[in-house]
Amino acid sequence: MNEAEIVLRLLCYNVHRLSDDIRAVAQVIRGMAPDVVFVQEVRRFRWRYRCADLARRCGLLVASGGGTALGNLLLVSYRVAVHEAWAMRYPLTPGRHMRGVAFARCSVGSSRFLIAGSHLSTDPAERPGQAALLRAALGAADEPVLLGVDVNDVPSGLAWRTLADGRLDAAGMTGTPTFSVPYPRRRIDAIFVDPRCRVARYEVVDSPEVRRASDHFPVLAEVVLPSLT
């Protein structure tokens, strides 16, 4: 990497409603020193307090999401400027959980990018439609898109393939499971990046704190943003 390149550390993390060990969650996130965290499953009750408290514990700022995005939260470091934030909700299927997406337009220096985080349905009939709606919502973006998702699907599944089409799967050929922590068998958590970016590092993080914090392993990627021309 040369000095002119801007590298972002991205972390995608389902925190299991912060119901296990919130101190361990904060230790894990702080230890990774991320620029962007795509958080899934922040509890919706008193969500403003919960989001602010998690950001404070992690030494980060709330960029977007929380209750407006149905438990999806975007946190950023102090080097990231947030220019616009919004949320989208998927259509509600009777008898299922309502789910959504958090978005934020951001920059580091003169490099702009769009971040989005979501958590798709566990229902295989509902999930592909949500993936299609998310893909469409990102389709009009001019800036590079960085997407962190608990897909609730494996790479061979339709929802995963819908989101991965035209993007880089930060894991590359790595097939390390991300769920569950007690019985790791499936890779269902992903970071997808714009093909104009370069993935410099990918890791499924494991540590004693990770084992206490959630039922998902966090996923870390270092991404080099495209140079300005």
Which residue type does 70 have? Answer: L
**For residue 161, what is the domain's CATH number?**
3.60.10.10
Pick the closest to residue 206 from 168, 177, 172, 163 (CA basis): 177
Assess if residue 1 is contained within a domain: no
* Separation CA 84–CA 124 (nearest Å): 32
Q: How many domains would you assign to the chain?
A: 1
Convert 28-55 to b/e letters by CB count within 10 Å (16 or more is b): bbeebebbbbbbbbbbeeebeebbeebb
* Separation CA 210–CA 28 (nearest Å): 6
Assess if residue 100 is contained within a domain: yes
Domain that holds residue 24: 7-223
Confidence of residue 91 (pLDDT cuts 50, 70, 90): very high
Pick the closest to residue 103 from 139, 59, 132 (CA basis): 139
Q: pLDDT digits over 171-189, tens only?
A: 998 999 999 999 999 999 9
Pair of tokens at residue 7: 């590298």
pLDDT at 128: 98
Q: Is the pTM of this model over 0.85?
A: yes
Phi, psi angle pair for 135, to nearest 5°: -60, -45
Is residue 20 within 8 A of residue 225, CB to CB? The reply is no
Assess if residue 2 is contained within a domain: no
Is residue 28 within 8 A of residue 164, CB to CB? The reply is no
Assess if residue 60 is contained within a domain: yes
Assess if residue 32 is contained within a domain: yes
What contacts 21, CB < 8 A, 6 or more positions away? 212, 213
Which has the higher per-residue pLDDT, 186 or 2? 186
Q: pLDDT digits over 47-86, tens only?
A: 899 999 999 999 999 999 999 999 999 999 999 999 999 9
